Structure 1
Amino acid sequence: MKKNSLTGWKDVFTFTLKQTLRSKAFIISYAIIIVLMLISMPIVSTLTSKDNSDSTSLNTVKKVYVNNKTNISSIDFKSVLHDEKLKNISFEPMRDDYNVVSERIEKSEQESIILTISEVQDKYSLEFVKATKGPVKESNLNTLSDSIKKEFQTIKLNALGVNSSQLDMINAEVKTNVFITDINGVEVVKEDTSISDSEYWFIYGILFIVMMVNIMASTQIASSIVTEKSTRVIEYLLTSVKPLAIIVGKILGMLTAVLFQVVSMIVALFISNRITSGLSSSSGESVLSQYLPKNIFQNLNLTNIIFCLILIAVGMIIYATLAGLAGASISRLEELSEGLTMFTFINLIGAYIGMGAASVLMASGINGFVIFSFLFPLSSVFILPGALLIGKVTLPLVLAAIALQIITIVLLFKFVAKVYETLILHNGNKIKLKELIKISKTV
């Protein structure tokens, strides 16, 4: 790859960036995205505060008729009332006929329920019956039933004459520690490299965002190239600019525009989060901090952020180059979806390897497959940024991944330099991969 092959890429970059930023489609989509980001945190805060208020409100059940069919005479559920959500409930032994009480609840006493406690083959059964319609919902009944079941366990043990100290002994936790030692009897400490559930979803979230941005940027690049092919703009550019300079300039121009969108989205999200936490949270706690892994901010330093941006940018250049080739291999916009089939397949391979590695990380920690996904240029852009931010990747491994990405880009650019001019001037059926390889060998 000679230096003069890149001459003029800055002009192509500037032209592409200006055209993209000025287009109506970009401006409209950018405005919609920013508005969505700004209102996202208030919506999340409103929904979560509503859930919290529901969880702390009084239970809609007002009375429980206890239908005791067991040999336990002293059944008292007063301890259940210690729960703030259940303190409004009264327990009353059922003296009337079951059908009479059931009919009364169905017609006029819909805030009451029947609790039938029976004993079948040395096993106890608790059955809850509510009105088919009324204020008592399944969630209210589930909350109450959980507390009653827990209290009934204590009532059973008391009936058997088991006191609290004996119960504590029965329920005492038994811990077993297994140590691995070497031949000298020295303990071999094995580091736990697995990730928590919240860390998994954090990695998955970054992976999903990168995949969406990657597809969006790459599709725009392919679409731009096809459009310029159909209007003959590329043919005029080829008279003064080398093919490699054109593809490099277009890729960097489109990626810059997309990354500008992404950075703006992140800034808008943090502004929304900051304003929302200041207005609606009495403790001043950030809305995002409720869902992010607790140790994320320990690894959120300038070095890690820079390496994350480098990994994403270099990885997206790889995919953008592949999308550029896909766009150049077709002649009409109508064929764009067909032309991007192979690119989409490659993109999904990288994303699915990253998803698999995230699952393995949560299940068993770092192993050979996870390290492969960190280093493989097609998957590292998806999995490595999230893993780096939660502290599961060493700096040498990150540098090795970036080096492999750069090597892949150099090889791709060499391939592009050989076939791009032929592709740009081609008008006709879509050029397949075998034909691309054949062209690269003959040029």
Structure 2
Amino acid sequence: MNKGMFSGWRDVFSFSLKQATGKKFRNATLGTALVMLVAGLAVSTIMAFSQKREDGKRSPIQQVYLVDESGLEVLHLAGFEERHGKTFPDVTFEESGKPVEELAVTLGEQEPNALILEISRTSEGYLLRAVLPYGSEIGQGDAEDLCEAFADVMEQSKLLSSGIPMEKLVLAMSGVQTSQLDAGEEARSLGEEMVSMLAPMMIIFFMYFMTLLYGMSVGNAVSVEKSSKLMEMMLTLTRPYGLIFGKVLAITVTAIGQMLLWISCLVGGFFLGHVIGERVIYPEYNNILLEIFALLQGQAGSTAFTPGAIVLAVFTVCLSFLFYCMLAGLIASFASKAEELGQVMGIYQLVMMGGFFCSYLLPLQEKEWINTILRIVPLTSAYILPGDILVGNITALEGLLFVVILVAFTAVVVVFTGRIYRDQLFYKGKSLRERLHRKAREA
């Protein structure tokens, strides 16, 4: 009976999937998922406790007596309440013309929660000195916190005392920003710029660790079973092409399912912790990470995080991982013996690391022709393409085109992997060098 090139791959895929997802695998996966759930829960609850502690931190200082020897025309005390009213809710200021030593004696007996703040002019600028009255109940750390907070007031007071009109003062203090824009290109918001930089970096790191963790698993699966009786039985059901494709695809699907479960548990634990933090720990809790994500998502508009971009990016992640798994299978196929696997897989690790560093470092050059090459070459496009699609660095049409190119390269790798694997099986494990020498002698 004639068989197609990939005939029987479904049977191999089903068998390899059951073999890979045994009891040990399930226990390890569920255990890690539980750890991820607890980690996500811990992140939100720790932020809630931290925010509750910071918001509940109230200074015991109630009265501050100012001994002002700075010579400033304006002392902008209203700015202190605007910036530090939550930390120092009970503080009131009162200017005093009495000497510091006299105040230190009288206040300690009458006002134990009062503090003396001396402002003086020096050759290097201005000096703030907090003086604790005798018998004061205020700690040294609270006094230092007040001095640090009051330093902002001094900066504003110096500017207001300079005599410059407020309109010119605001103009002089305004910052200068730069941006680059090609003709006909629409300007991006701050949120889009942040997303376009951070999201691809995170996806590149995610893909790197995925390919690093599972590359050796693919190599072992390809190399170890070459001389087993199980291999002889499988070859009666399928051809080497279908055999290697089904086996590597099963490992790929297993790895992707495992990672999706872990990420889902991490995200689920994070949102569960958010609910607990908001309803149980601190009712006024604000999840900073969710607020940042909402801001970025709202500013990104239609160029990033659209449903179509998310679907295509997820598909590209799976395709990219399949490409590197097939590449690991291709390189592992050159190992004629299981003992040679470690040396052969060293080549895979070098190739994988080269693609990672090129994808991570070369886009920093900010040259479009470099990015285009990175999106075409499969070793780098597998890393960089999902992030570019997700954040809208490329259009949907460009994304589809680059994905088609990656599909074509993946198919080529699959065919070459099957051919090398077939030759290794039917040449009874002879190395590639031996076969080449034999062909040269026959010629």
Deviation at 1:21, TM superposition (A): 1.0
Matched, 1:43 2:45: no
Alpha-carbon distance in structure 1 between the residues aligned to 2:427 and 2:286: 58
| Change beyond 3 A, Cα 1:59–1:353 | farther
Distance 2:375 2:438 in 1: 30
**Structure 2 equivalent of residue 7 of structure 1:** 7
Distance change (3 Å), C-alpha of 1:32 and 1:154: same
How much does 1:306 deviate?
A: 3.1
Structural RMSD (CA): 4.6
After the TM superposition, which residues 240-251 of structure 1 pair with which residues of structure 2 at under 5 Å, given as runs? 240-251=237-248
- Is the contact between residue 60 and residue 135 of structure 1 (CA under 8 Å) also seen in structure 2? no
Please give the alpha-carbon distance, in whole angstroms, between the structure 1 residues aligned to 2:147 and 2:439.
Answer: 74
Matching of residues 45-64 of structure 1 within 5 Å = 45-58=44-57, 60=59, 62=61
- 378-387 vs 8-17, which moves further: 378-387
Structure 2 residue identity aligned to 1:380: S
Q: For 1:38 and 1:91, how far apart are their aligned partners in 2?
A: 49
Alignment equivalent of 2:334, drawn from 322, 325, 329: 329
Among 150, 154, 157, the residue aligned to 1:155: 157
Structure 1 counterpart SS, 2:393: coil
Q: 2:201 aligns with which of 198, 201, 204?
A: 204
**C-alpha deviation, 1:330, in angstroms:** 3.6
> What's the CA shift for 1:237?
3.4
Structure 2 residue 23 is the aligned partner of structure 1 residue 20 = no
Gaps of 5+ in 2: 133-137
Aligned counterparts of 1:355 and 1:437: Cα–Cα separation in 2: 39
Cα displacement string for residues 89-112 of structure 1 (whole angstroms, at most 9, x for unaligned residues): 466877139xx99xx9xxxx9997
| Correspondence list, 1:119-268, <5 A | 119-120=122-123, 123-126=124-127, 141=144, 144-145=146-147, 147-157=149-159, 159=161, 162=163, 166-172=165-171, 188-192=183-187, 195-229=192-226, 231=228, 233-238=230-235, 240-268=237-265
AA aligned to 1:43 is: A
Residue 147 to residue 267, structure 1, CA distance change in 2 (3 Å): same
Q: Does 1:345 align with 2:350?
A: yes
Equivalent position of 1:387 in the other structure: 388
Aligned equivalents of 1:116 and 1:290: distance in 2?
40
Asked if structure 2 preserves the Cα contact closer than 8 Å seen for 1:34 and 1:264, the reply is yes
Partner of 2:135 in structure 1? none
The normalised TM-score by structure 1 is 0.74
State the alpha-carbon separation in 2 of the partners of residues 153 and 175 from structure 1. 17
Q: 1:316 to 1:288 in 2, by over 3 A?
A: same
**CA positional deviation for 1:57:** 3.5
Please give the per-residue CA displacement for 1:288-308, whole angstroms capped at 9, x wherever unaligned.
633433246854444323322
- The answer as to whether partners of 1:315 and 1:378 remain within 8 angstroms in 2 is no
Q: Within 2, Cα distance between the matches of 1:339 and 1:437? A: 17
Whole-Å separation in 1 of the counterparts to 2:396 and 2:347: 33
Q: How much does 1:260 deviate? A: 1.5
Structure 1 counterpart of 2:88, from 69, 83, 86? 86
1:103-118 correspondence to structure 2 within 5 Å: 117-118=120-121
Gap change, CA 1:141 and 1:376, over 3 Å in 2: farther
C-alpha distance after superposition, 1:114-173 (max 9, x if no partner):
7664321xx513356799xx96659x956x45542232234335655x37xx13322226
1:51 counterpart SS class: helix
Q: Is the 8 A contact 2:80 2:152 kept in 1?
A: no
What's the offset of the Cα at 1:320?
0.8
Residue in 1 aligned with 2:291? Answer: 290
* TM-score for both structures, normalised by structure 2: 0.74
How many residues matched? Answer: 412
Whether the 8 Å contact between 1:226 and 1:328 is mirrored in structure 2 is: yes
Q: How many Å separate the matches in 2 of 1:75 and 1:68? A: 9
Question: CA, structure 1 residues 137+337, in 2 after alignment: closer, same or farther (shift >3 Å)?
Answer: farther
One-letter identity of the residue aligned with 1:118: R
In the TM superposition, what whole-angstrom CA distance separates every residue of 1:375-426 from its partner, at most 9, and x where no partner exists?
A: 3212222222222222222122112212221221232233223321344578
State the alpha-carbon separation in 1 of the partners of residues 380 and 340 from structure 2.
Answer: 27
